[in-house]
Amino acid sequence: MQNHPPTRRGALRKLAAFLALLPLAAAAPALAADNFPSKPIRLIVSYPPGGSNDIAARIIAPELGQALGASVVVENRAGASGVIGADHVAKSDPDGYTLLLSSISPIVLAPQTMKSPPFYAPKAFKAVNMMALTPEAIAVGPRLSGVKTLKELLDRAKTQQITLSSSGSGGLPHLTIELLRKVQGNILHVPYKGAGPAVTDTLGGHVDGIVMDLPPLYSLIKENRLTALAVTSEKRVDFLADVPTAQEFLPGFNVENWVGIFAPAGTPDAIVAKVDAALRHAVAQPKVKTALADAAMAPAVMDTPQDFQKRLADDYVRWGKVIQDAGVEMTN
């Protein structure tokens, strides 16, 4: 029998041990998926409590947990226009136990207004699925009480400068205003630090109108304190059926803010599939549909997680161009 040198014999033993472990390594993701979930799941919201993302998370978490057979705990991690919480999830273990509930701003818009974004969303996250859509609302306050339609607003802008407030620079409301400015350049964007001050100054007549996600404006529109000129969704929304879409006057003008759930990149497909199935079941529940509608959000899911992943990538490109064209000031 031939004797191998000790060093070679040791190397062969290590190789044999490595090869023996390969089947176990290959089976690990499947085993993890079979046992998932075996502990509570954290659902990260990258804004403070009370906003539309937080409301959506607290509507879906109980039903999602029931469908998965584990508790789903909502955790708020606010800061940097939502980027801090999103980055926390992007850098978390890809095991399905740390998920992100996000709208378009924290992962598509805000990073593209930063000089050194901490992540590139289409690669940093694995989409689970959408759960709701909400359009932007274009509304006017008492300074333009005679304006009742979007056409009238743009016609007025031909003879006077129109001021439209938003909750800040670089967000979806701001970019919606930039799209309006492409139609009629005599519109001035007035950014505020949050939805509250923007609404207050619009109601107080300090600015002509406001563009914002529908949820914060919904009750004010229903109470006739603001006049809704248009919503920016593809179709009219059931809960404001008398308000036309912007597309009815401006063909192709479509701005919808989605809310969905994401996992860190690298999360096994089988785990994503489990969460996706649970999310679909939760969104289909009548009480979830009612709660979302009460918050001015329309329940919506896509056919597959891959479809939502493609939408994420497409939206990243679309809004990146709008940000660049608008000359949005970059932050550190």
pLDDT digits 0-9 by tens, 149-179: 999 999 999 999 999 999 888 889 999 999 9
Cβ neighbours of residue 106 closer than 8 Å, sequence gap 6 or more: 46, 47, 81, 82, 83, 85, 86
Q: What is the pLDDT of residue 285?
A: 96
CA distances from 118 to 33, 203, 256, 284 (A): 29, 37, 25, 35
User: In which residue ranges of the chain is pLDDT below 70?
Assistant: 1-32
Please state the pTM of the whole predicted model.
Answer: 0.81
Taking alpha carbons only, the member of 86, 115, 160, 126 closest to residue 263 is 126
Q: What is the pLDDT of residue 230?
A: 97
How do beta strands 227-231 and 125-140 pair? antiparallel
CA distance linking residue 20 with residue 10, whole number of Å: 15
Q: What is the pLDDT of residue 18?
A: 61
Cβ neighbours of residue 143 closer than 8 Å, sequence gap 6 or more: 205, 207, 208, 209
Strand partners, 210: 139, 165
Q: What is the pLDDT of residue 100?
A: 98
How do beta strands 41-45 and 98-103 pair? parallel
- Long-range contacts, 145-152 (Cβ 8 Å, 24+): 145/227, 147/227, 147/229, 148/227, 148/229, 149/229, 149/230, 149/244, 149/249, 150/229, 150/230, 150/244, 150/246, 150/249, 150/250, 151/249, 152/229
Strand partners, 37: none
With 0-12 CB in 10 A as exposed, 13-18 as middle and 19+ as buried, what is 53? buried
With 0-12 CB in 10 A as exposed, 13-18 as middle and 19+ as buried, what is 191? middle
The two three-digit tokens of residue 111, written as one number: 């990073």
The two three-digit tokens of residue 245, written as one number: 């879409």
Q: Which residue do the tokens 């306050």 mark?
A: 141
